[in-house]
Amino acid sequence: MPELLAPAGDMERLKYALIYGADAVYIGGPLLGLRANAINFSFDEIKEACELAHSMNKKIYVTVNIVLHNKELKAVIDYLKKLEECNVDAIIVSDLTIVKLALEHTKIPVHISTQASSMNVETAKFYKELGCERIVLARECSKEEIKAIKDNVDIELECFIHGAMCAGISGRCALSNLFTGRDANRGGCAQICRWDFDLLSENKETIKGEKEFTFCAKDLSMLKYIPDMIDQGITSFKIEGRMRSIYYIATIVNTYRKVIDSYLSDKENYKYNPEYEKILRNCANRDSVPQFYNGVNDSTCGYYNGRVEVSNQDFLGVILDYDKESHLATVQERNLFKVGDKAIIFGPNHEDIEITIDEIYDMEGNTMDLVRHPMEIVKVRLNKEVFKYDLIRK
Amino acid sequence: MSKLLVMPKSTNIDLYSEYADGFIYGLKNYSVNLPIEVSIDEIKELSKKCDTLNKELFIAINKNLFTSELDRLKEYLLELDKLNIKGILYADVALVNLKRDGYFKTDLVWSQEHLTTNYQTINNWYSFGVKYTYLSSDITLREIKEIKENTDSILIAPMFGYIPIFTSKRHEVKNYLDHFNLSDSSSINYIEKEGKIYPIVDNHEGTIVYSNNILNGYKEYLDLDIDYVTLNEFNIEDSLFIKVLKTFKEKNEIDLEIPGSDKGFLFNETTYKVK
């Protein structure tokens, strides 16, 4: 059974990832990760995360995938030992120095990060012989290239199944370094590939389409190909997005969990459910395609809409509690909702519940017509039982 | 004194041989970020010529490789072993594994252009038999000095030319043109942002973007005694390039003023935590 691997930028998101069905969660620690500007986890929080995950028979991986400069070298061994004390299940690494130090000084399993852009049998053999447990393959790998590695090297393979894509080959992009001085290979990526540019000919004449030139790629979505990837024997299915919201993480994990479980429970009669596509698309508010997996690498993979997407707009609120006697749910608002709105409540342990919001009360029991303030806590009457950690979407 | 390695636009090495100590050419279909790529037969001719002129020849096999590309590559590596090739610049670890497994003997140059950033990792690759390192273009002069003091690896540093800053397997220019039904047959395009213009090349391997300015580290490398420094002719006029090469070789004391040049990252340390 493949592992469903989710991202988490903090403890709250980690809980949602685990509760909604992730088998493992990857997080950043206080140092040496590639999301230097995320909140990231302290050592105490990493320890707490590991205890929580292990109590649920799940795993925690920590990213240590920075490309080291001289001044970072001294910190590595102590840092790795502290991670080992936290009981992490693996570290995700790209720099050979960190790989070697981890293997020599700790017992933490090493996963080779996608930052190393591994895409062939010989590279996989190298890391296998070095003692690494797993390779996160480059996102440029097609189905056939993944199969070639799987068939020839006995090493765990992890593939991205959902989320934002780098335009460049991982590790070979320094756009952020040049444009902003922020080092993409040390966690400072400023996502220059999403900027608009003017494209010029060799004579420096402007070549203008309806929208500006950009490197921006559509998101990755492997929803349709999950059965195919399961049959290939890929060890771990990875979701991108350590800086994403609880809503995004819960929605994506929940959806892929259903697809994986549905296929594995009855391969013969499995049917693809296109409704899931809508859910995922609405959640991220971005188009997604399978990118390189099916060998397509053309203009359909690029994003030329010239707009900045605002995600989570269909996320209405979080269920904090439910009183079975009064049928009142305590809800924390995330986007405006009002009496008469239709919505869906989803959670990890039940089918989606369609509702019409009939009654809203403030915490003093006064009736309300609408809830407009983010994070405002209100009561909503719901006739069906819902649960803490359930979420409400449009 | 550092040896001058030229990444030329032409296979006519006579154009450069008076001043260059050696050359780097990309192997056709297996290299990226070089001004020109050449076939194995052309490499054989270049090797002969270099031997005659007492010049060193390096070959770049520096793309990220798929398994489906390895069988042909193994044949090429055996061919290269028969020639007097000083080193093979690689980005994909597959080359290290193939050498370790005895498929070829030619020395390797660790050349992952933005990842060769510290001496310990350089030393680790050295322990795997990688004799040379082509240093990252986005580290500082101070970091380069530290690396030199702490490694036995033979170092090659980018000294002059546009710096490759983005490599992709996507066809970014072609895809944009296709999407908006535009046509353009430029061999080099440019992207412009806030008045700065960056060369962009979309070829059969994908897309490469270069720095807006030409790196000119001549003065900085004069006394550094790095084993090799490179001069990349990409997008630079022949006459200017030869003039620069001559100046470097003759160690002219005059400051070489080159319009549109800067010091790259030599004095600009990158950060990664936004305060």
Q: Which of A247, A278, A301 is the last residue of a domain?
A: A301
| B-contacting residues in A 15-54 (Cβ below 8 Å) | 36-37
Q: Is A310 contained in some domain? A: no
Q: Is A148 contained in some domain? A: yes
- CB-based contact (8 Å) between A139 and chain B? no
DSSP reduced 3-state for A25: strand
Q: How many domains is chain A built from?
A: 2
Instruction: Look at residues A392, A384, A218 and name the one whose alpha carbon lies nearest to residue A320.
Output: A392
Residues A329 and A192 in one domain: no
**Which CATH number does the domain housing residue B245 bear?**
3.20.20.70
Q: Is A240 contained in some domain? A: yes
Chain B: give the shortest CA distance to residue A172, in Å.
6
Residues A193 and A115 in one domain: yes
Would you state the structure tokens that stand for residue B151, as one six-digit string? 């490694």
Q: What's the number of CA atoms in the CB half-sphere (13 Å) around residue A268? A: 0
Residues A204 and A295 in one domain: yes
Residue B73 has pLDDT above 70, yes or no: yes
What is the value of ipTM here, to two decimals? 0.94
Residues A367 and A236 in one domain: no
Q: Is B29 contained in some domain? A: yes
Residue B274 has pLDDT above 60, yes or no: no
Residues A286 and A324 in one domain: no
CB contact under 8 A, A187 and B165: no
Chain A: give the shortest CA distance to residue B262, in Å.
12
**Which pLDDT value is given to residue A37?**
61
Domain extent for A265: 3-301
Tell me whether residue A206 is exposed, middle or buried, using C-beta atoms within 10 angstroms of its C-beta: 0 to 12, 13 to 18, 19 or more: exposed
Q: Is A7 contained in some domain? A: yes
Chain A: give the shortest CA distance to residue B77, in Å.
14
Q: How many domains is chain B built from?
A: 1
pLDDT (tens, 9 = 90+) of chain A, 394 residues, equals 999 999 999 999 999 999 999 999 999 998 876 666 666 899 999 999 999 999 999 999 999 999 999 999 999 999 999 999 999 999 999 999 999 999 999 999 999 999 999 999 999 999 999 999 999 999 999 999 999 999 999 999 999 999 988 899 998 898 988 888 888 888 778 888 889 999 999 999 999 999 999 999 999 999 999 999 999 999 999 999 888 899 999 999 999 999 999 999 999 999 999 999 988 888 877 888 999 999 888 999 998 876 666 666 789 999 999 999 999 999 999 999 999 999 999 999 899 999 999 999 999 999 999 999 989 999 999 999 999 999 999 8
Contact assessment for residue A63 and residue A113, using Cβ atoms and an 8 Å cutoff: yes
Q: How much is the mean pLDDT over chain B? A: 94
User: Mean of the pLDDT values across residues B226-230?
Assistant: 96
Residues A104 and A238 in one domain: yes
Residues A324 and A382 in one domain: yes
Q: Is A309 contained in some domain? A: no
CB contact under 8 A, A298 and B186: no
Residues A179 and A324 in one domain: no
pLDDT-derived band at B265, boundaries 50, 70, 90: confident
CB contact under 8 A, B165 and A175: yes
Residues of chain A neighbouring B146 (CB-CB closer than 8 A)? 70
Residues of chain A neighbouring B192 (CB-CB closer than 8 A)? 197-200
Domain extent for B109: 3-161+214-262
Tell me whether residue A210 is exposed, middle or buried, using C-beta atoms within 10 angstroms of its C-beta: 0 to 12, 13 to 18, 19 or more: exposed
**Which pLDDT value is given to residue A284?**
78
pLDDT digits (tens, 9 = 90+) for B159-188: 999 999 999 999 999 999 999 999 999 999
Q: Is B156 contained in some domain? A: yes
**Which pLDDT value is given to residue B254?**
59
Q: Is A307 contained in some domain? A: no
State pTM to two decimals. Answer: 0.93
CB contact under 8 A, B64 and A138: yes
Q: Which of A254, A279, A301 is the last residue of a domain?
A: A301
Would you state the structure tokens that stand for residue A177, as one six-digit string? 């370094």
Residues A240 and A366 in one domain: no
Contact assessment for residue A130 and residue A83, using Cβ atoms and an 8 Å cutoff: no
Angle, vertex CA A29, rays to CA A26 and CA A32, nearest 5: 105
Residues comprising chain A, all counted: 394
**Which pLDDT value is given to residue A34?**
60
- CB-based contact (8 Å) between A126 and chain B? yes
Q: Are strands B87-90 and B56-61 parallel, antiparallel or unpaired?
A: parallel
- CB-based contact (8 Å) between A205 and chain B? no
**Which pLDDT value is given to residue B150?**
97
- CB-based contact (8 Å) between A265 and chain B? no
Measured CA to CA, the distance from residue A315 to residue A54 in angstroms comes to 30
